[in-house]
Protein backbone atom coordinates (compact mmCIF):
# COMPACT_ATOMS: atom_id res chain seq x y z
CA UNK A 1 0.00 0.00 0.00
CA UNK A 2 1.86 2.99 -1.35
CA UNK A 3 1.32 6.33 0.40
CA UNK A 4 1.41 9.32 -1.96
CA UNK A 5 0.80 12.97 -1.20
CA UNK A 6 -2.47 13.66 -3.04
CA UNK A 7 -1.35 17.19 -3.75
CA UNK A 8 1.67 16.14 -5.82
CA UNK A 9 0.38 15.75 -9.36
CA UNK A 10 3.78 14.56 -10.56
CA UNK A 11 3.61 11.64 -8.10
CA UNK A 12 0.03 10.57 -8.51
CA UNK A 13 -0.38 10.97 -12.27
CA UNK A 14 1.08 7.59 -13.16
CA UNK A 15 1.96 5.83 -9.91
CA UNK A 16 0.35 2.70 -11.37
CA UNK A 17 3.57 2.01 -13.27
CA UNK A 18 5.18 0.75 -10.05
CA UNK A 19 2.39 -1.81 -9.64
CA UNK A 20 1.60 -1.36 -5.96
CA UNK A 21 -1.44 -3.32 -4.81
CA UNK A 22 -3.01 -0.18 -3.35
CA UNK A 23 -2.30 3.51 -3.57
CA UNK A 24 -3.14 5.55 -0.48
CA UNK A 25 -3.75 9.13 -1.59
CA UNK A 26 -2.92 11.15 1.48
CA UNK A 27 -4.99 14.20 2.35
CA UNK A 28 -3.88 14.11 5.99
CA UNK A 29 -0.34 14.38 7.38
CA UNK A 30 1.56 14.85 4.10
CA UNK A 31 -0.49 17.92 3.20
CA UNK A 32 0.13 21.30 4.82
CA UNK A 33 -2.83 22.86 6.60
CA UNK A 34 -3.21 25.68 4.06
CA UNK A 35 -3.04 23.25 1.12
CA UNK A 36 -5.88 20.94 2.12
CA UNK A 37 -8.31 22.29 -0.49
CA UNK A 38 -5.83 22.09 -3.35
CA UNK A 39 -4.89 18.51 -2.41
CA UNK A 40 -8.54 17.50 -2.38
CA UNK A 41 -9.14 19.02 -5.82
CA UNK A 42 -6.02 17.35 -7.19
CA UNK A 43 -7.15 14.01 -5.75
CA UNK A 44 -10.65 14.35 -7.19
CA UNK A 45 -9.35 15.09 -10.67
CA UNK A 46 -6.76 12.31 -10.57
CA UNK A 47 -9.30 9.70 -9.53
CA UNK A 48 -11.76 10.90 -12.15
CA UNK A 49 -9.33 10.98 -15.07
CA UNK A 50 -6.52 8.49 -14.50
CA UNK A 51 -6.94 4.79 -15.13
CA UNK A 52 -5.11 3.14 -12.23
CA UNK A 53 -5.26 -0.25 -13.93
CA UNK A 54 -7.17 -2.07 -11.24
CA UNK A 55 -4.94 -0.90 -8.39
CA UNK A 56 -7.01 -0.26 -5.27
CA UNK A 57 -7.45 3.48 -4.66
CA UNK A 58 -7.52 4.34 -0.96
CA UNK A 59 -7.92 7.89 0.33
CA UNK A 60 -6.57 8.83 3.74
CA UNK A 61 -8.96 11.50 4.93
CA UNK A 62 -8.34 14.02 7.67
CA UNK A 63 -9.57 13.19 11.15
CA UNK A 64 -13.23 13.74 12.03
CA UNK A 65 -12.14 16.36 14.56
CA UNK A 66 -10.76 18.59 11.78
CA UNK A 67 -12.73 20.99 9.58
CA UNK A 68 -11.61 19.02 6.47
CA UNK A 69 -13.10 15.57 7.04
CA UNK A 70 -16.57 16.16 5.55
CA UNK A 71 -15.27 17.63 2.33
CA UNK A 72 -12.60 14.94 2.09
CA UNK A 73 -15.29 12.27 2.28
CA UNK A 74 -17.53 13.99 -0.29
CA UNK A 75 -14.65 14.43 -2.74
CA UNK A 76 -13.34 10.88 -2.34
CA UNK A 77 -16.76 9.27 -2.69
CA UNK A 78 -17.74 11.49 -5.62
CA UNK A 79 -14.49 10.60 -7.40
CA UNK A 80 -15.16 6.89 -6.90
CA UNK A 81 -12.43 5.96 -4.39
CA UNK A 82 -12.48 2.28 -3.49
CA UNK A 83 -11.67 2.73 0.19
CA UNK A 84 -11.43 5.52 2.74
CA UNK A 85 -8.82 5.21 5.44
CA UNK A 86 -9.87 6.75 8.73
CA UNK A 87 -6.96 8.02 10.81
CA UNK A 88 -6.50 7.65 14.59
CA UNK A 89 -9.41 5.31 15.19
CA UNK A 90 -9.81 4.64 18.91
CA UNK A 91 -13.40 3.48 19.35
CA UNK A 92 -16.07 2.05 17.01
CA UNK A 93 -17.85 5.41 16.94
CA UNK A 94 -14.88 6.90 15.08
CA UNK A 95 -15.74 4.55 12.23
CA UNK A 96 -19.51 4.77 12.49
CA UNK A 97 -19.61 8.54 12.25
CA UNK A 98 -17.53 8.46 9.06
CA UNK A 99 -19.59 5.61 7.68
CA UNK A 100 -22.73 7.71 8.05
CA UNK A 101 -21.09 10.53 6.16
CA UNK A 102 -19.94 8.15 3.41
CA UNK A 103 -23.45 6.88 2.96
CA UNK A 104 -24.72 10.44 2.70
CA UNK A 105 -22.13 11.19 0.04
CA UNK A 106 -22.91 8.00 -1.87
CA UNK A 107 -26.54 9.05 -2.06
CA UNK A 108 -25.60 12.61 -3.02
CA UNK A 109 -23.37 11.53 -5.91
CA UNK A 110 -25.30 8.50 -7.12
CA UNK A 111 -22.72 5.99 -5.97
CA UNK A 112 -24.28 2.63 -5.00
CA UNK A 113 -24.70 2.63 -1.21
CA UNK A 114 -22.13 0.36 0.38
CA UNK A 115 -19.70 0.45 -2.54
CA UNK A 116 -17.13 2.58 -0.71
CA UNK A 117 -15.13 0.47 1.71
CA UNK A 118 -13.29 1.60 4.81
CA UNK A 119 -10.02 0.93 6.54
CA UNK A 120 -9.38 1.82 10.16
CA UNK A 121 -5.97 3.14 11.09
CA UNK A 122 -5.16 2.36 14.70
CA UNK A 123 -2.49 4.59 16.14
CA UNK A 124 -2.98 4.79 19.91
CA UNK A 125 -2.97 2.43 22.92
CA UNK A 126 -6.75 2.90 23.28
CA UNK A 127 -7.23 1.94 19.63
CA UNK A 128 -5.07 -1.15 20.09
CA UNK A 129 -7.10 -2.23 23.13
CA UNK A 130 -10.33 -1.74 21.13
CA UNK A 131 -9.01 -3.33 17.92
CA UNK A 132 -11.51 -6.21 17.87
CA UNK A 133 -14.53 -4.00 18.52
CA UNK A 134 -13.38 -1.56 15.86
CA UNK A 135 -12.71 -4.31 13.33
CA UNK A 136 -16.22 -5.77 13.67
CA UNK A 137 -18.16 -2.52 13.87
CA UNK A 138 -18.89 -2.01 10.19
CA UNK A 139 -19.57 -4.15 7.14
CA UNK A 140 -17.62 -1.62 5.14
CA UNK A 141 -14.35 -2.33 6.92
CA UNK A 142 -12.04 -4.26 4.61
CA UNK A 143 -9.10 -4.08 6.98
CA UNK A 144 -7.34 -2.44 9.87
CA UNK A 145 -3.89 -0.96 9.84
CA UNK A 146 -1.40 0.01 12.45
CA UNK A 147 0.24 3.44 12.39
CA UNK A 148 3.51 3.49 14.30
CA UNK A 149 4.28 7.21 14.49
CA UNK A 150 1.61 8.28 16.95
CA UNK A 151 1.64 4.92 18.68
CA UNK A 152 5.33 5.27 19.56
CA UNK A 153 4.73 8.75 20.89
CA UNK A 154 1.81 7.69 23.05
CA UNK A 155 3.66 4.58 24.27
CA UNK A 156 6.70 6.68 25.31
CA UNK A 157 9.11 4.68 23.19
CA UNK A 158 10.64 4.73 19.70
CA UNK A 159 11.22 2.37 16.79
CA UNK A 160 14.08 -0.14 16.98
CA UNK A 161 15.56 -2.65 14.58
CA UNK A 162 14.04 -5.63 16.39
CA UNK A 163 10.55 -4.11 16.44
CA UNK A 164 9.97 -5.34 19.99
CA UNK A 165 8.17 -2.09 20.86
CA UNK A 166 5.57 -2.85 18.16
CA UNK A 167 5.07 -6.47 19.10
CA UNK A 168 2.06 -6.08 21.36
CA UNK A 169 0.14 -3.82 19.01
CA UNK A 170 0.96 -5.88 15.93
CA UNK A 171 -0.13 -9.10 17.61
CA UNK A 172 -3.32 -7.57 18.97
CA UNK A 173 -4.28 -6.12 15.57
CA UNK A 174 -3.58 -9.18 13.51
CA UNK A 175 -5.52 -11.38 15.93
CA UNK A 176 -8.44 -8.94 15.91
CA UNK A 177 -8.49 -8.82 12.12
CA UNK A 178 -8.38 -12.59 11.80
CA UNK A 179 -11.10 -13.00 14.42
CA UNK A 180 -13.38 -10.79 12.34
CA UNK A 181 -12.22 -12.09 8.97
CA UNK A 182 -10.85 -8.84 7.54
CA UNK A 183 -7.33 -7.90 6.48
CA UNK A 184 -4.51 -6.42 8.53
CA UNK A 185 -1.75 -4.10 7.31
CA UNK A 186 1.47 -3.03 8.92
CA UNK A 187 2.87 0.47 9.38
CA UNK A 188 5.46 2.26 7.21
CA UNK A 189 9.23 1.92 7.44
CA UNK A 190 10.63 5.41 7.04
CA UNK A 191 14.36 4.88 6.52
CA UNK A 192 14.63 4.64 2.73
CA UNK A 193 18.39 4.17 2.88
CA UNK A 194 18.10 0.96 4.92
CA UNK A 195 16.60 -1.58 2.56
CA UNK A 196 17.94 -4.48 4.61
CA UNK A 197 16.17 -3.25 7.74
CA UNK A 198 13.03 -2.81 5.68
CA UNK A 199 13.25 -6.36 4.32
CA UNK A 200 13.71 -7.75 7.83
CA UNK A 201 10.62 -5.92 9.03
CA UNK A 202 8.56 -7.19 6.07
CA UNK A 203 9.69 -10.76 6.81
CA UNK A 204 8.69 -10.30 10.45
CA UNK A 205 5.20 -9.02 9.75
CA UNK A 206 4.57 -11.64 7.08
CA UNK A 207 5.49 -14.30 9.58
CA UNK A 208 3.09 -12.72 12.09
CA UNK A 209 0.27 -13.12 9.62
CA UNK A 210 -0.15 -9.60 8.22
CA UNK A 211 -1.65 -9.24 4.74
CA UNK A 212 0.57 -6.39 3.64
CA UNK A 213 2.79 -3.46 4.41
CA UNK A 214 2.29 0.27 4.09
CA UNK A 215 5.13 1.87 2.15
CA UNK A 216 6.32 5.38 1.40
CA UNK A 217 8.36 4.85 -1.77
CA UNK A 218 8.03 2.76 -4.94
CA UNK A 219 11.57 1.59 -4.12
CA UNK A 220 10.07 -0.57 -1.38
CA UNK A 221 7.54 -2.34 -3.62
CA UNK A 222 9.77 -5.07 -5.11
CA UNK A 223 10.93 -6.10 -1.62
CA UNK A 224 7.38 -6.47 -0.30
CA UNK A 225 6.34 -8.41 -3.39
CA UNK A 226 9.39 -10.62 -3.24
CA UNK A 227 8.82 -11.51 0.42
CA UNK A 228 5.06 -11.96 0.16
CA UNK A 229 5.08 -13.85 -3.15
CA UNK A 230 5.11 -17.61 -2.63
CA UNK A 231 8.31 -19.39 -3.68
CA UNK A 232 8.19 -21.85 -6.57
CA UNK A 233 8.64 -24.60 -3.98
CA UNK A 234 5.61 -23.40 -2.00
CA UNK A 235 3.60 -23.14 -5.20
CA UNK A 236 4.56 -26.66 -6.26
CA UNK A 237 3.60 -28.04 -2.85
CA UNK A 238 0.27 -26.19 -2.90
CA UNK A 239 -0.47 -27.53 -6.38
CA UNK A 240 0.29 -31.05 -5.19
CA UNK A 241 -2.00 -30.68 -2.14
CA UNK A 242 -4.86 -29.34 -4.25
CA UNK A 243 -4.49 -32.00 -6.95
CA UNK A 244 -4.06 -34.89 -4.50
CA UNK A 245 -6.88 -33.69 -2.24
CA UNK A 246 -9.17 -33.48 -5.27
CA UNK A 247 -8.31 -36.99 -6.48
CA UNK A 248 -8.39 -38.54 -3.00
CA UNK A 249 -11.73 -37.01 -2.05
CA UNK A 250 -13.22 -38.61 -5.16
CA UNK A 251 -11.77 -41.91 -3.94
CA UNK A 252 -12.99 -41.30 -0.38
CA UNK A 253 -9.53 -40.89 1.22
CA UNK A 254 -9.41 -38.18 3.90
CA UNK A 255 -5.85 -38.12 5.24
CA UNK A 256 -2.69 -38.95 3.31
CA UNK A 257 1.00 -38.14 3.06
CA UNK A 258 2.70 -35.75 0.61
CA UNK A 259 6.52 -35.57 0.81
CA UNK A 260 6.39 -37.01 4.31
CA UNK A 261 3.81 -34.43 5.54
CA UNK A 262 0.41 -35.47 6.79
CA UNK A 263 -2.17 -33.70 4.62
CA UNK A 264 -5.91 -33.41 5.16
CA UNK A 265 -8.71 -31.25 3.89
CA UNK A 266 -7.88 -28.51 6.43
CA UNK A 267 -4.78 -27.74 4.35
CA UNK A 268 -6.85 -27.01 1.24
CA UNK A 269 -7.68 -23.43 2.15
CA UNK A 270 -4.02 -22.57 2.75
CA UNK A 271 -2.96 -24.21 -0.51
CA UNK A 272 -5.61 -22.33 -2.43
CA UNK A 273 -4.52 -19.08 -0.81
CA UNK A 274 -0.93 -19.78 -1.89
CA UNK A 275 -2.02 -20.27 -5.53
CA UNK A 276 -4.22 -17.15 -5.42
CA UNK A 277 -1.32 -15.12 -4.01
CA UNK A 278 1.03 -16.55 -6.64
CA UNK A 279 -1.40 -15.46 -9.34
CA UNK A 280 -1.76 -11.99 -7.82
CA UNK A 281 2.01 -11.67 -7.57
CA UNK A 282 2.33 -12.70 -11.22
CA UNK A 283 4.66 -15.59 -10.41
CA UNK A 284 2.24 -18.43 -11.19
CA UNK A 285 2.90 -20.36 -14.36
CA UNK A 286 0.74 -23.45 -13.73
CA UNK A 287 -2.77 -24.23 -14.94
CA UNK A 288 -4.84 -24.39 -11.73
Partner 1 sequence: MRNNVGREIPDELLIHGVEAFQGQYYLHNKEYKKASPKVRTFVDPAQDKLVPTLKEAIEKCGLRDGMTISFHHHFRDGDYIVNMVVETIASMGIKDITICSTSLGDAHDPIVKYIESGVVTGISTSGVRGRIGETISKGRLKKVAMIRSHGGRVRAIETGDIHIDVAFIGAPSSDAYGNARGKGGKANCGVLSYSMVDAKYADKVVVITDCLVDYPNFPPSIEQVDVDYVVVVDKIGNPQKIANALLRFTEDPRELIIAENATKVLVNTPFFKDGFSFQTGGGGPSLAVTRFLRPYMEAKNIKMGFAIGGITKPMVDLLNDGLIRTIVDAQDFDLTSIESVHNHPRHFEISTSQYANPFNKGAFVNKLDFVILGALEIDTDFNVNVVTGSDGILRGAPGGHVDTAAGAKCSIIVAPLLRGRIPTIRKRVTTVTTPGESIDVVVTEVGIAINPRRQDLIDALKKTRLTIRTMEDLKNEAYSLTGVPEDIEFEDKVVALIEYRDGTIIDVVKRIKGKSVD
Interaction of residue 100 with partner 1, rule CB under 8 A: no
Quick one: which segment of 37-45, 180-188, 212-220, 260-268 binds partner 1 (CB under 8 A)? 212-220
What minimum distance in Å lies between the beta carbon of 18 and partner 1? 6
Interaction of residue 13 with partner 1, rule CB under 8 A: yes
CB closer to partner 1 out of 138 and 220: 220
Please state, in angstroms and rounded to a whole number, the distance separating the CA atoms of residues 95 and 142.
12
CB closer to partner 1 out of 13 and 203: 13
Indicate which single residue of 14, 37, 191, 264 sits in contact with partner 1 (rule: CB under 8 A).
14
CB closer to partner 1 out of 51 and 287: 51
Please state, in angstroms and rounded to a whole number, the distance separating the CA atoms of residues 178 and 282.
25
Candidates 194, 183, 187; CA nearest to 216 is: 187
Q: In the sheet where 56-60 sits, what is the strand order?
A: 2-5, 22-26, 56-60, 83-86, 117-122, 141-146, 183-186, 212-213
Q: Which of helix, strand or coil describes residue 253? A: coil
What minimum distance in Å lies between the beta carbon of 14 and partner 1? 6
Please state, in angstroms and rounded to a whole number, the distance separating the CA atoms of residues 47 and 60.
14
Interaction of residue 207 with partner 1, rule CB under 8 A: no
Residues 6+ apart with CB under 8 A from 255: 262, 263, 264
Interaction of residue 10 with partner 1, rule CB under 8 A: yes
What minimum distance in Å lies between the beta carbon of 9 and partner 1? 8
Residues contributing to the site for partner 1 (CB under 8 A) = 10, 13-14, 17-18, 50-51, 217-219, 221, 282
Amino acid sequence: MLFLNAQRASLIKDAYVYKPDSIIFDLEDAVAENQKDSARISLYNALRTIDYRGIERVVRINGWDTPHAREDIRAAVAAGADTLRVPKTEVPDDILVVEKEIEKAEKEFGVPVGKTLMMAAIETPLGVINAYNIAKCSERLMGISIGAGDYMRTMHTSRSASGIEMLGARAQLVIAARAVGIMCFDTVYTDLSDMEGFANEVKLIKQMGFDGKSIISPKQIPIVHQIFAPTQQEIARAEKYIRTLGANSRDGIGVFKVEGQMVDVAMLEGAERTIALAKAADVYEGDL
